Amino acid sequence: MAKRGNSIIKGIEISDLIAILNRAYADEWLAYYQYFIEAKVVKGIMKDAAIVELTQHAADELRHATMISDRIIQLGGTPLTHPKAWFEHTNCGYDEPKDFDVVSILNDAIKGEQCAISTYSKIVEMTKDKDIVTYDIVSSILADEVEHEEDLQALHDDIFDFIADLKKSMSL
């Protein structure tokens, strides 16, 4: 544990911060797996575009998990060491894909990103002016989650626009 590095933290109990970060860590692993498996099972219109987005987002979630685990270790904690613990500590949960249709998959992914945005917004507020290192890490992750939601929503909207245009052209 970095003694001097932890001395810059003011107004937050380090043990509480580690617990909050472990919850985010659990979320990242579950999001990683959700995107990974959704990219494998997705079916339907524009599935290739969805696969590209889901695969990229899975890689980002794994990178986020690494960033958070590194910070937990810097703070003197231990990242959750068993996947079962992810389900016990998650903020956002895990939505098992049951309907593999691209729209259903995108809806679940958008819901997950919205939860992540809420989670990281709270951590940003909590660490602002109290722990600049965690604040910077979490702010970076938050920016990625906002971008993910936008990417997924745009693809979702593109699918509906395509279907509407197709229906329109068929009625002519």
CATH code, 13-170? 1.20.1260.10
Q: What is the pLDDT of residue 5?
A: 56
Q: Is 113 annotated as contributing to ligand binding?
A: yes
Q: What is the pTM of this model?
A: 0.92
Q: Is 145 annotated as contributing to ligand binding?
A: yes
Q: Average pLDDT of 151-166?
A: 92
Closest alpha carbon to 71 in 116, 33, 32, 24: 24
Taking a C-beta distance cutoff of 8 angstroms, is the pair 72, 21 a contact?
Answer: yes
User: DSSP letters along 2-65, please?
Assistant: -HHHHTT--SS-HHHHHHHHHHHHHHHHHHHHHHHHHHHH-BSTTHHHHHHHHHHHHHHHHHHH
* Least confident piece of the model among 3-7, 65-69, 124-128, 143-147: 3-7
Q: Is 38 annotated as contributing to ligand binding?
A: no
Band of pLDDT at residue 60, cut at 50, 70 and 90: very high
Residue 4 has pLDDT above 70, yes or no: no
Q: What is the pLDDT of residue 6?
A: 64
Q: What is the pLDDT of residue 166?
A: 82
Q: What is the pLDDT of residue 167?
A: 84
Q: What are phi and psi of 90, to 5 degrees?
A: -65, 145
Q: Is 148 annotated as contributing to ligand binding?
A: yes
